[in-house]
């Protein structure tokens, strides 16, 4: 997995004068720059938002071929493998990249991850087609990010952080509305899923089992599993619980002085070795190695 700074080095961004504080990077890109992302094999420790402004491209996302067209916004979350397959000669897109550690330290992102539909963490679909008004509004935010990135102003970093939070808040609302319209779910199914997601923030650390959530919702575990799979295109209850646990463990490793054992206890793992195995399966390294890398 590559950090934002490592991505810039690998893709030659230093020569292209990519200006970044290592936390955020916003670019107006063409097809040539798009293919540079294959240099990292699609493995980035960044949340990435790409708004297509012209042309088309095809990518392989988690072994699924997806076509992006003008007016689409594509979201990459850390841990997914992506390969660029092809693109039109006139392909252009605005790209915002947020370092994972920086993103998870922002209240807007943590709130988005821990509320309805697990916004930002893309489970159902990584691509959304925007309305003209939504596209123009988000495009203005991208362009303002680029402006402050290149301005050299002493307060530029803070302006970029504010704009990033504004973007996340705005896009989260767009995303929720789009999912509701695309799924055309029954009110019963939608209500159960929303109630399940609303239960997670206060319970995921202590309760890792589906039975707890089904009991709280007064339904069977089988029915809860069916609802979650239907809404999220095949994802399971465990997928959601585990992602909440992973995001919280990353936050605690980054922003607290708690020991690995204390974090494991806080997240209700019976043994610290169990927590270490869980983290390693998700991130490819142990919690101790992860913390050492960010030190």
Task: Name residues whose C-beta falls within 8 Å of residue 143's C-beta, 6 or more positions apart in sequence.
Answer: 94
Whole-number Cα distances in Å, 28 to 33, 48, 67 = 9, 13, 19
In order of 51, 132, 133, 143, 147, the CA distances from 140 in angstroms are: 11, 12, 11, 5, 10
Q: In what order do the strands lie in the sheet with 24-30?
A: 24-30, 92-99, 46-54, 72-76, 127-129
Packing angle of the helix pair 287-294, 272-283 (nearest 10 deg): 60
Q: How far, in Å, CA of 167 to CA of 176, rounded?
A: 14
Per-residue pLDDT reduced to its tens digit, 175-213? 766 666 655 667 788 788 878 887 888 899 999 999 999
pLDDT tens, position by position, 97-135: 998 878 877 776 666 655 434 444 444 457 888 999 999
pLDDT tens sequence across 85-106: 999 999 999 999 998 878 877 7
Domain boundaries along the sequence of the chain:
4-183, 187-294
Tell me, yes or no, if the pTM score tops 0.85. no
For the four alpha carbons of 149, 75, 3 and 84, in that order, the dihedral sign comes to: negative
Coil, strand or helix: which one is 28?
Answer: strand
Decide yes or no: CATH 3.40.1010.10 for domain 4-183.
no
pLDDT of 9 strictly over 80: no
Classify domain 187-294 at the CATH topology level.
Answer: Arc Repressor Mutant, subunit A (1.10.10)
How far is 221 from 116, CA to CA, in rounded Å? Answer: 20
- Fold match, 4-183 / 187-294: no
Read off the pLDDT band of 233 (50, 70, 90).
low
Chain segment 10-22, per-residue pLDDT in tens: 776 655 567 777 8
Stated as kind and residue range, the H or E segment containing 57 is strand 56-61
């Amino acid at each position: 997995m590559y950090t934002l700074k490592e991505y810039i080095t690998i893709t030659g961004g230093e020569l292209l004068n990519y200006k970044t504080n290592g936390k955020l990077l916003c670019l107006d890109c063409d097809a040539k720059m798009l293919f540079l992302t294959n240099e990292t094999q699609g493995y980035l420790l960044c949340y990435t938002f790409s708004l297509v402004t012209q042309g088309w491209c095809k990518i392989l996302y988690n072994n699924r071929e997806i076509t992006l067209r003008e007016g689409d916004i594509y979201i990459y979350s850390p841990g997914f493998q992506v390969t660029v397959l092809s693109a039109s000669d006139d392909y252009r897109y605005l790209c915002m990249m947020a370092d994972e550690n920086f993103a998870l330290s922002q209240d807007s992102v943590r709130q988005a991850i821990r509320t309805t539909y697990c916004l930002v963490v893309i489970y159902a679909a990584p691509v959304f087609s925007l309305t003209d008004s939504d596209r123009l509004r988000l495009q203005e935010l991208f362009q303002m990010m680029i402006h402050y990135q290149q301005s050299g102003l002493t307060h530029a970093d803070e302006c970029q952080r504010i704009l990033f939070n504004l973007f996340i808040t705005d896009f989260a609302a767009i995303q929720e509305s789009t999912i509701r319209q695309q799924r055309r779910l029954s009110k019963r199914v939608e209500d159960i899923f929303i109630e399940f997601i609303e239960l997670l923030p206060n319970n995921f650390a202590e309760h890792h089992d589906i039975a707890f959530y089904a009991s709280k919702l007064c339904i069977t575990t089988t029915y809860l599993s069916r609802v979650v799979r239907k809404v999220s295109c095949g994802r399971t209850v465990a997928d959601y619980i585990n992602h909440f646990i992973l995001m919280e463990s990353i936050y605690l490793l980054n922003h607290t002085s708690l020991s690995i054992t204390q974090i494991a206890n806080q997240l209700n793992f019976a043994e610290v070795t169990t927590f270490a195995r869980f983290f390693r399966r998700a991130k490819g390294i142990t919690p101790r190695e992860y913390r050492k890398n960010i030190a």
